[in-house]
Amino acid sequence: MKLEEGDLVTEVTGDVVKDGRVLKIARIEAVYHLKADPERRDTIARVHSFHADHCPVARTLQGCVEIVTRFELV
C-alpha cells in the first residue's frame, strides 16, 4: 500500500499532571486518520497491533508515560 500526501494524518493529545512542584506528561494518545480501502482493515489492525514495538518514541517512553494509539479509516 503506497500512501500519498494527506493519506495519513495523526492527531496527538496528552495529559499533563502536577508531580510535586513539577509538571509531567502522564499520558499520550495518538489517533491515526488513514485513508485506505475498508477491505484492508484487518491488515491495518495487525500492523497497528505491533507498530509501537518499532517506534523510537514509544520505546523511549515505555514504562514512563502511558501511550494509547488507535486508527480510524477515513
The reply to whether 1 falls in a domain is: no
**pTM > 0.75:** yes
9 vs 19: CA distance, rounded Å: 32
pLDDT digits (tens, 9 = 90+) for 31-64: 999 999 999 999 999 999 999 999 999 999 999 9
Say if 3 falls within a structural domain: no
For residue 32, what is the domain's CATH number?
Answer: 3.30.300.20
Over the stretch 13-37, which tens digit does the pLDDT of each residue have? 999 999 999 999 999 999 999 999 9
Residue 29 lies in a domain: yes
In a domain, 2, yes or no: no
Residue 21 resides in a domain: yes
Measured distance CA(64)–CA(27) in Å, rounded: 9
Question: Cβ(44)–Cβ(73) under 8 Å?
Answer: yes
Please tell me the predicted confidence (pLDDT) of residue 3.
Answer: 85
Range list of β-strands (E), 1-74: 8-19, 22-34, 66-73
Total structural domains in the chain? 1
Question: In which domain, by residue range, is 48 found?
Answer: 8-73
- Is residue 24 a contact partner of residue 66, using CB atoms and an 8 Å limit? no
